[in-house]
A and B are shown apart, each in its own frame.
Chain A
Amino acid sequence: MTAEVGSPDPQVSPDHPVTGLDDVVHQRVRLGILTIAHEARRVEFGYLRTQLQLTAGNLSQHVGVLEAAGLVEVEKGYAGRRGRTWITLTAAGGTALAEEIGRLKLLIARVETTGTREDR
């Protein structure tokens, strides 16, 4: 099932954290890429592939989406004779990641508050 995040939904109030979710970032693999790139400053394609347990093609697609959105920069080079691809988080990527994490925390807080009210 694919989320139509941000689409108008009469059940969702405009100030609900779900309404602000960015479809590009609110995806487990892409969120993982942004998180690793943020923590590492600069990360090699092979490391991402191992950590996220993806095929090269699959990872390329996700990196491409993030690059097109201006959230990461991709740099190709060599380490000795081996070709290497490095992914770096852009300033926009850092902001998008921080906002996504903020919204996730808000969502959790909302769920917990609702759960507490229902328990009463």
Chain B
Amino acid sequence: MTTNSVSAGGDPRRLLADVRALARRVRVDRRVTWVALLALAVVTLAAIPIDWYSLDADCGRVLADGGCHIRRLDRAFYWLPALLVAYSAIAAYAVRVARARGLGVRVLPYVLTGVALAVLSAAAWLLASLYWGSHPVPAHPLPSWMLVLDGLIGPAGTIGVALLVLAWLERNAALLVFTLGYLAVVLVPVDSVRLPPFGYLSDLLLPQVINGAVLLLGAAGFAVARRRHR
């Protein structure tokens, strides 16, 4: 940088490149991607024991494939407050980091997006519960679109959509790639894996373990990348 005015013959391409580089530098300095992923991984993994003890399984009710009718009560009392607390914690940390680095930060779009998605997810779950309470349970296997929709409005899918919005707001290509991979893990239906000591519980809890592990690995990856970058 010089203190002289730019000459009329100055290269506008270079000026524009400088502008873009500075804007990118600010965005990178403000990012707290690894903390966001860590907080969401903790919320996901903490849900496992809660899910374990709060599952309402009715195995006396005969379904088309002879399985159990299962209700996940944790959606009612765990996920909504947990996600709200996680998004608030991430926003508070982002403000603290930005201030320490000498930058302002716009947290409202992040918080509003996270809260809106968490509330929408809870409302969708409530509507689905009311619907299936008065309608016959469809025969298994369920259609793929129904499984994808269920995954998308579920807590793991909501986290994925929130991360997509974060990647867009931060123009963070690495987070976008990671989130697409995470959503693929969450949304692509896989065949049931039943581990003998856990029975039907392994069907339900194993995906949560995988989702939490993916988020945790992502947090570790972004933390290492940040350390190297600095």
Contacts and interface: CB of A to CB of B under 8 A. Distances in A.
B1 A28 contact: yes
Interface in B1-17: 1-8, 10, 12-13, 15-16
A104 B12 contact: yes
B22 A28 contact: no
Contacts of B23: 35-36, 38-39
A114 interface: no
A54 B1 contact: yes
B175 to A, nearest CB: 18
Contact of A1 (B7, B19, B26, B104): B7
Interface size class of B (residues with CB under 8 A): 20 to 34
Given A28-B18, A107-B12, A108-B16, A36 B26 contact: yes
Interface in A19-58: 23, 26-29, 31-32, 35-36, 38-48, 51-54, 58
B106 A28 contact: no
B101 interface: yes
A27 B4 CA distance: 7
Contacts of A52: 1
A31 B20 CA distance: 11
Top 7 closest pairs, chain A to chain B, by CB: A42-B104, A44-B102, A47-B102, A41-B104, A39-B26, A107-B12, A40-B103
